[in-house]
Amino acid sequence: MRKHSVSWGVGIVLALWAGQAMSASQEPIQPIEPVVIKEPEKVELGKMLFFDPRLSRSGAISCNSCHNLAMGGSDNLKASIGHQWQMGGINSPTVLNSSMNIAQFWDGRAKDLREQAGGPIANPAEMASSHEVAVQVLNSIPGYRSEFKRVFGKDGITIDEVTSALAAFEETLVTPNSRFDKWLKGDKNALTVRELAGYQLFKNSGCVACHNGAAVGGNSFQKMGLVSPYVTDNKAEGRAGVTGQDADRFNFKVPTLRNVALTYPYFHDGEAATLTQAVDVMGRLQLGRTFTDEENGQIVAFLKTLTGDQPVIQYPVLPPSEDDTPRPEPFVK
Amino acid sequence: MRKHSVSWGVGIVLALWAGQAMSASQEPIQPIEPVVIKEPEKVELGKMLFFDPRLSRSGAISCNSCHNLAMGGSDNLKASIGHQWQMGGINSPTVLNSSMNIAQFWDGRAKDLREQAGGPIANPAEMASSHEVAVQVLNSIPGYRSEFKRVFGKDGITIDEVTSALAAFEETLVTPNSRFDKWLKGDKNALTVRELAGYQLFKNSGCVACHNGAAVGGNSFQKMGLVSPYVTDNKAEGRAGVTGQDADRFNFKVPTLRNVALTYPYFHDGEAATLTQAVDVMGRLQLGRTFTDEENGQIVAFLKTLTGDQPVIQYPVLPPSEDDTPRPEPFVK
C-alpha cells in the first residue's frame, strides 16, 4: 500500500514538472550536439601534438598534463604543476567544450583556441619552451614533417600550423548526450524528481543569469564576488589585466558547468574542493542567497546530470625523435 | 643498362643471404606473438590504474608518465622526473614486452610485474604515495569499487589487487609484427640488404650473446663494462644491491632491444643519446671491438627493424573522485 501511494505521489509531481517545463527551445540551456569532423587528418595531427610532451622544455609536460582527457579535460588540482614543479597561478579550466567559450583563459586574453594554444608552450612557468624550439623539434622529426605536409600541403612547419592543428583537435572535444540534454530533447524520464527540482532552483534563484547557453557558461565575463567580496590569496585580477580598466578587477570568464562533476576543484583559485562548497559560495557571494542543505543538494544533483559522453580517444603513437632533434632539458637551471 | 645490372647484383646478394639465413627456429631471436587477452575486464581495470595520476601523492604522476605508451613505453629522458621534480636515479626502462624480462628493474629486484608495480607508487622519489593511501583513494571512488568487485568478485580493494590488475594490463603490451619478425617468419623481402648485413654482424660480433630470445635481451644480467670499464657519474651498482655480492657490481639486466628506435636515450644512466653512440660503446666495452662507421650504420639499420606494432590503447575515462577522496598534495613539503 505504502509503496503504491509513494509511486502515485511521484507520478503527480512528475506530471506537474512536465507541465511546468518549457520546451527545449525555450530553456536557457541548449543541448550539445555531437561534433562533425570535417578535417580528420588535421584533427589527428592535433591530437598527436596535444599528447606530445616534447612541446615542453622538460620533455615531460604536454597539453594533456593539465587538460587530461581521462579526467574531464582538467588536472583536478587546485593549481597546475609547471616546468620544474612551479605552482600555476590559476586553476586549469577544462578543454572540454572550450570551443564554445567567448574567449580563452580565465581572463579571456586569447580570442580563440588557436591563440590559446601558443600560450602554455612558451610560458616559462608552464611548458617553458619557445615557439622557435617547439617548431625546431617538430621539424626535425620525419613523422611530423610528413603529417604537416599532408595536412597543410607544403614543406616546413610553422607555429601557426601547430596551433591551428591543436585547435582543430580541441574543437572535437565536445560532450553530447548528458542526461540533462536527453531531458532537454524530450526524454522526461532522463532526470529524477530531485534533479529536476535542482534545475528549477538553478533557474529560479538566478544561476542561469550567468550559466546559460549550450555550455552552461563560458559566454560572458562576470565579477567574482558580486554581492559580497570573494576573499582569496590568489593574485589573479581577471579582465583588468587585459583591459587595463580598474572596473574589470575580479571579472573572470564564467566557467562552463558541463561535466562539472569531473572538473573539481572549483573557481579560478581552485579553493572549492566540492560541488557542495561551490554552490554554497556562489549562492552567497553572487546571489546573496544562502541555500539550505536540501536546496544545495538538489542543485548539486542537477549539476551532476551535465556530464556528457566523454570524447573517445585512441591514444596516439608519436613519431620518434631523430639524432638531431633538440633534447629535453628537465633539470637544467 | 646500369639500372638492370644493379638490380641483378642486388638479386644475387639477396639469394646469398637467403641461402645463408637459418630457418626462424634456428635463429637466436624469436618472433613476438600477438597477445591473447584472457581477462579483458582485469586488463581494462589495469589500464585505468596505469593512466591514473591519483596513485601518486601529487595527483600528477601516473605509471604512464615514465612509461609513456605514446613513446615506446618510456619517457625518452635520461632520468625520469619524480615527485616535486626529483631527478630519478636510473633511466626508465620500457614497459613494452616487459613481461618477457627475467625480472623487473635494472637490478632485477622485483621478480615480476606485480612486484614491480608496487614500487614506484610508494617510492618517495617517484610517485611518493603509499600503498595505504593509494588503496584509500581507490576505495573512496564508486567507479573503482564496482570495477574491482567485478574483476575480483568481492568488496574492498587491496594493494595486491591493484598490482595484479596493473600487471595484467602490462602483460598485453607486446609488439608483434616488426619487420624483423616478418623476416624471421619467412618474408625475405621484409629487410633490406643493409639491414640483413647489420643482423649478420650483430650475430657474428657477439651482440646476440646477451641480446637474444624473443625480447632480444631481458633474459640475463651482465656486467656493464666487460672488456673495458664503463665510466659514469651514475651511482647505480646493479645486482650487487640485491645480492650483496661484490662480484655483482655493475651487473645490470640486459635491456630488451625491441622498439629500441623509440626508447632513446640508452643505458641505465641514459648517457647514450643515439643508437650510433650506444652501438659504439657496446662494441668497445662489451666486445672489445671498434665498429667502423659502416658497420655501426648496418647494426643501427638492423636495430630499427625491431620496432613492432605498438599497442592500440583507447585512452581511459577515469571515474571521478568523491568528496571524501583524499586530495593530492603536489606542493606540500
| Residue B28 forms contact with A (CB below 8 Å) | no
| Residue B318 forms contact with A (CB below 8 Å) | yes
- Contact between chains at A313 and B312 (C-beta distance less than 8 A): no
Task: Say whether both B98 and B202 belong to one domain.
Answer: no
Q: How confident is the model at residue B25 (pLDDT cuts 50, 70, 90)?
A: low
Q: CB of B252 within 8 A of CB of B106?
A: yes
Rounded Cα distance, A199 and A302, in Å: 6
**Residue B167 forms part of a structural domain:** yes
Catalytic residue, chosen from B44, B126, B147, B170, is B126
B210 is known to lie in a ligand binding site: yes
Chain B residues touching A72 at Cβ < 8 A:
320
| Percent of chain B clearing pLDDT 70 (strictly above) | 92
**Residue A100 forms part of a structural domain:** yes
Reported as a single tens digit per residue, the pLDDT across B35-60 is: 999 999 999 999 999 999 999 999 99
- The H or E element spanning position A139 is helix A131-139
Rounded Cα distance, A200 and A243, in Å: 36
pLDDT in the model for residue A19: 41
**Residue A313 forms part of a structural domain:** no
Positions at the binding site of A: 63, 66-67, 83, 207, 210-211, 282
Mean pLDDT of A80-97: 98
Of A147, A172, A197, the domain-final residue: A172
Q: Rounded to a whole number, what is the distance in Å from the CA of B324 to chain A's nearest CA?
A: 9
Q: How confident is the model at residue B4 (pLDDT cuts 50, 70, 90)?
A: very low
In this predicted structure, the answer to whether residue B18 has a pLDDT above a threshold of 80 is no
Find the angle CA(B148)-CA(B153)-CA(B159) to the nearest 5 degrees: 45
Rounded Cα distance, B22 and A45, in Å: 42
pLDDT in the model for residue A21: 47
Contacts of A238 (CB under 8 A, 6+ apart): A106, A107, A221, A224, A248, A249, A250, A251, A252, A268
pLDDT in the model for residue B24: 53
CATH of the domain at B299: 1.10.760.10
- Contact between chains at B313 and A315 (C-beta distance less than 8 A): yes
Number of separate domains in chain A = 2
Q: Which residue in this structure is represented by grid cell 593511501?
A: B133
**Residue A269 forms part of a structural domain:** yes
| Residue A142 forms contact with B (CB below 8 Å) | no
DSSP B315: P
Q: CB of A195 within 8 A of CB of A301?
A: yes
A88-92, A322-326, B5-9: segment of lowest average pLDDT: B5-9
Of A155, A172, A189, the domain-final residue: A172
In this predicted structure, the answer to whether residue A22 has a pLDDT above a threshold of 80 is no
In this predicted structure, the answer to whether residue B253 has a pLDDT above a threshold of 60 is yes
B-chain residue closest to A328, CA distance: B77
Task: Say whether both A50 and A136 belong to one domain.
Answer: yes
**Residue A30 forms part of a structural domain:** no
- Contact between chains at A313 and B310 (C-beta distance less than 8 A): no
Reported as a single tens digit per residue, the pLDDT across B186-227 is: 999 999 999 999 999 999 999 999 999 999 999 999 999 999
**What type of residue is A273?**
A
Mutate to test the interface with B, among A45, A77, A279, A303 (most CBs of B within 10 A): A77
CA distances, B106 to each of A195, B70, B98, B238, B257 (Å): 54, 22, 12, 7, 14
pLDDT in the model for residue A171: 98
Of B172, B195, B211, the domain-final residue: B172
Task: Say whether both B90 and B197 belong to one domain.
Answer: no
Q: Which three cell numbers stand for residue B108?
A: 632485477
Task: Say whether both B200 and B285 belong to one domain.
Answer: yes
DSSP A98: G
Contacts of B76 (CB under 8 A, 6+ apart): A54, A59, A321, A328, B68, B263, B264, B265
- Contact between chains at B53 and A68 (C-beta distance less than 8 A): yes
Find how far residue B249's CA is from the centre of its chain: 22
Q: Which residue in this structure is represented by grid cell 505521489?
A: A9
pLDDT in the model for residue A123: 98
Reported as a single tens digit per residue, the pLDDT across A266-287 is: 999 999 999 999 999 999 999 9
pLDDT in the model for residue A109: 95
Task: Say whether both A128 and A51 belong to one domain.
Answer: yes
- Contact between chains at A71 and B318 (C-beta distance less than 8 A): yes
Q: How confident is the model at residue B6 (pLDDT cuts 50, 70, 90)?
A: very low
Q: Which of B273, B276, B323 sits opposite A274 (nearest CB)?
A: B323
B67 is known to lie in a ligand binding site: yes
| Residue B214 forms contact with A (CB below 8 Å) | no
**Residue A10 forms part of a structural domain:** no
DSSP B169: H
**Residue A223 forms part of a structural domain:** yes
Task: Say whether both B232 and B267 belong to one domain.
Answer: yes
Q: Which of A54, A77, A330 sits opposite B60 (nearest CB)?
A: A77
Q: Rounded to a whole number, what is the distance in Å from the CA of A331 to chain B's nearest CA?
A: 8
Neighbours of B290 (CB within 10 A): 10
- Contact between chains at A81 and B69 (C-beta distance less than 8 A): no
Reported as a single tens digit per residue, the pLDDT across B61-70 is: 999 999 999 9
B33 has catalytic annotation: no
Q: How confident is the model at residue B254 (pLDDT cuts 50, 70, 90)?
A: very high
| Residue B310 forms contact with A (CB below 8 Å) | yes
Mean of all residue pLDDT scores within chain B: 93
Task: Say whether both B96 and B201 belong to one domain.
Answer: no
Q: How confident is the model at residue A24 (pLDDT cuts 50, 70, 90)?
A: low
Secondary structure of A211-240 in the HEC alphabet?
A: CCCCCCCCCCEEECCCCCCCCCCCCCCECH
In this predicted structure, the answer to whether residue A113 has a pLDDT above a threshold of 70 is yes
Chain A residues touching B331 at Cβ < 8 A:
79, 87
- Contact between chains at B261 and A72 (C-beta distance less than 8 A): no
pLDDT in the model for residue B20: 46
Reported as a single tens digit per residue, the pLDDT across B62-117 is: 999 999 999 999 999 999 999 999 999 999 999 999 999 999 999 999 999 999 99
- The H or E element spanning position B195 is helix B193-204
| Residue A188 forms contact with B (CB below 8 Å) | no
Task: Say whether both B151 and B207 belong to one domain.
Answer: no
- Contact between chains at B58 and A70 (C-beta distance less than 8 A): no
- Contact between chains at B331 and A79 (C-beta distance less than 8 A): yes
pLDDT in the model for residue A191: 98
| Residue B85 forms contact with A (CB below 8 Å) | yes
Beta strand spans in chain A (E): 221-223, 251-253
Task: Say whether both A152 and A221 belong to one domain.
Answer: no
Mutate to test the interface with B, among A81, A95, A140, A266 (most CBs of B within 10 A): A81
3-class SS of residue A150: helix
| Residue B227 forms contact with A (CB below 8 Å) | no
Q: Rounded to a whole number, what is the distance in Å from the CA of A43 to chain B's nearest CA?
A: 16
Reported as a single tens digit per residue, the pLDDT across B258-308 is: 999 999 999 999 999 999 999 999 999 999 999 999 999 999 999 999 999
pLDDT in the model for residue A25: 64
DSSP string, A269-292: T--B-SHHHHHHHHHHHHHS----
Examine the predicted complex and report whether its ipTM is higher than 0.90. Answer: yes
Task: Say whether both B66 and B123 belong to one domain.
Answer: yes
Reported as a single tens digit per residue, the pLDDT across B302-327 is: 999 999 999 999 999 999 999 999 99
Range of the domain at B99: 40-172
Neighbours of B219 (CB within 10 A): 18
Task: Say whether both A207 and A140 belong to one domain.
Answer: no
**Residue A301 forms part of a structural domain:** yes
In this predicted structure, the answer to whether residue B249 has a pLDDT above a threshold of 80 is yes
Task: Say whether both B162 and B46 belong to one domain.
Answer: yes
Q: How confident is the model at residue A294 (pLDDT cuts 50, 70, 90)?
A: very high
DSSP B210: T
Contacts of A59 (CB under 8 A, 6+ apart): A53, A327, A328, A329, A330, B75, B76, B77
